[in-house]
Structure 1
């Protein structure tokens, strides 16, 4: 254990497995070290892996041998007292499968182990305390890969022969390398929790996600009240890797009332904040649905980096929810608007009015693009499947922006009714004498960033024809 050595990080033959030289300060009293120092270590190239749990294994005797275990989380390994012989085997799928690295660890050495790399150690001194930080809480549902300590293919040169070592029956029973199913990074990150599962988007996600190979759990408000932080914190998150928050208060006019204001903020701001906290604590990917209402509609097309400028309570609450989600390391903030799917929406209302013989007044000075849940759900899955860069993405259907009046006339036309029955009015005229929330007049969202990921939604006009044909 060299005293006073500089903090350094060394690569190893196993990609992502790093050996760290720790600075140990020794004097007549003993020694001191910074065992884990996020700022310094990240600056030197250690992944900012976000540990959430610290475990210590105390071993009475030399020769205690544990492993080889590959878990679906990262580990930062060190010893507080004593020495160990550490051995690592790459059990991840790929060309490096079976690569071995070993090194002796004393208090001046630490090792960062990526998920999927098998880890084992053998104590070289009595009274050894082996410590490791992990970035996920232990779960019985987690998928592991294990390898036999005596496997002849990897041929680890144990300092103390295994026939004289102390080994558990479970570790002795692990399979040889030829029988090990390679660890795949996708395995532990395909369990999805969908909130707002009974909404238009929630229903579509529950249809598309299983077909894309995801294990899906849908929660409705009776199952999980997002406005209750204690209920969110108390949920068993161990069975989920991804959360898609499709729940929201969407009654924009009701949000302007005293009771509605409180309910709107609880659903759209407090709820996302609670989910963001859970995502950080449990290493989850968080997908959160944002809205065109976070803008005032004066600078369209709206880009992802445009500062929020909400006009009403609903938009303000959505902007607050967006801000709460943004710090989550793996987040996708999907901004959309004018949503049409399985449920109540503008297109269905116009089709019903047309069939009932009603000649509606529809505003002609609010413009944007329809977003069909078919494409909205597919776009979200695309971001997850391609491991797109975390951040904000605008997602609507493509095509020329249209007004609500133009959409209504097209619905009448496509359902075999006279489009001249729809009467255009200005927004101020339409809401005259009624309590109503202010609306952005131009909700057009810029789709450049989304298209750069390789996903281009279908034209809104094409989807409208299909929707009315299949409803």
Structure 2
């Protein structure tokens, strides 16, 4: 990554933790600085004066507002745009001024989900506040001459995530607290495990790959959220039959607050990233390993 230091924002999040872990495994963590919103609010122009930006050759932005439904509220909309659009815009301007490389993580939510497979050339078409803010952030980052944008979907890593939530629900069904669980089956995509995203980021930087936008998720079959929930229930308690598939409309029919529209199709074309020499692992293999680790953690 060069002789200069690397700054990682959003270090407490799932991806930030994965980037730190990979840096530690590679023995280069001493060349990194890590921060989160408690010490560096990247959406605040006044916060930028605390750093000597000439010391950094690379900035890896792992920070984001990801509460997609909360983003549809008046308060959430402000926070969402600050983190996902204003912050990346300020980072891009700063990195451009100091000749640094900016790495930024995007989302399948920048698309309306009408295409079965999305590639890097597809026009932006967000249908939610979260998606709109991420699209704006992408456009801002593209203004930095030295940039990598990695577009992801359905992120799973250390911390609260869909699979861990499903495991807990499986336990509640097994204990008789719940009869069954409904999960949407009309949204399709692939999981993105944060260890693979971190590895892809390091690969692009180390390989000196062409700057630009890359799709990055796990490889393999395209599934639904209900499929993933069923696999988790089976691994947890052998009760996958207690996952009842429903439409998105039916699932959110009784929601009390605003609900963000979701893309129906979230699968991303990985061929551009693979052409650089990085082949993401099959996400179902990673899911099996992750479920095994959850069993060891939660069952003792």
Scaled by the length of structure 1, the TM-score of the pair is: 0.59
Q: 1:406 aligns with which of 227, 237, 243?
A: 227
Displacement of 1:233 in angstroms is 4.8
Q: 1:268 aligns with which of 84, 87, 91?
A: 84
- The DSSP-based 3-state class of the residue aligned with 1:319 is helix
The answer to whether the aligner puts 1:201 opposite 2:15 as a matched pair is yes
Deviations 1:122-147 (A, max 9, x none): xxxxxxxxxxxxxxxxxxxxxxxxxx
Matched pairs, number: 285
Q: 1:469 aligns with which of 277, 292, 298?
A: 292
Displacement of 1:416 in angstroms is 3.0
Question: Which deviates the most, 213-222 or 363-372?
Answer: 213-222
- The DSSP-based 3-state class of the residue aligned with 2:7 is strand
Q: 2:127 aligns with which of 311, 314, 319?
A: 311
Identify the residue that residue 111 of structure 2 maps to in structure 1.
295
Structure-2 change in CA distance of 1:239 and 1:380 (3 Å): same
The answer to whether the aligner puts 1:325 opposite 2:141 as a matched pair is yes
Deviations 1:390-444 (A, max 9, x none): 0000000011100000000011112232111001000011111422000000000
Q: 2:64 aligns with which of 242, 248, 269?
A: 248
Correspondence list, 1:158-237, <5 A: 187-189=2-4, 191-214=5-28, 215-237=31-53
Conserved 8 A contact 1:301-1:444: yes
The answer to whether the aligner puts 1:396 opposite 2:220 as a matched pair is no
Structure 2: how far apart are the matches of 1:452 and 1:385?
Answer: 15
- The DSSP-based 3-state class of the residue aligned with 1:410 is helix
Identify the residue that residue 417 of structure 1 maps to in structure 2.
238
Displacement of 1:234 in angstroms is 4.5
Deviations 1:225-276 (A, max 9, x none): 1120221254222332111101000000000000111110001000000100
Structure 1: how far apart are the matches of 2:233 and 2:254?
Answer: 28
Correspondence list, 1:448-463, <5 A: 448-463=271-286
Structure 1: how far apart are the matches of 2:160 and 2:277?
Answer: 31
- The DSSP-based 3-state class of the residue aligned with 1:242 is strand
Q: CA RMSD in A?
A: 1.2
| Gap runs ≥5 in structure 1 | 1-185
Identify the residue that residue 436 of structure 1 maps to in structure 2.
259
- The DSSP-based 3-state class of the residue aligned with 2:67 is coil
Conserved 8 A contact 1:233-1:274: no
| Gap runs ≥5 in structure 2 | 295-300
Identify the residue that residue 99 of structure 2 maps to in structure 1.
283
Structure 2: how far apart are the matches of 1:424 and 1:468?
Answer: 21
- The DSSP-based 3-state class of the residue aligned with 1:445 is coil
Conserved 8 A contact 1:229-1:270: no
Conserved 8 A contact 1:279-1:328: yes
Structure 1: how far apart are the matches of 2:27 and 2:271?
Answer: 28
Conserved 8 A contact 2:226-2:243: yes
Of Structure 1 and Structure 2, the greater strand share is in 1
Of Structure 1 and Structure 2, the greater helix share is in 2
Structure 1: how far apart are the matches of 2:250 and 2:3?
Answer: 54
Larger radius of gyration: 1
Scaled by the length of structure 2, the TM-score of the pair is: 0.92
Structure 2: how far apart are the matches of 1:391 and 1:364?
Answer: 33
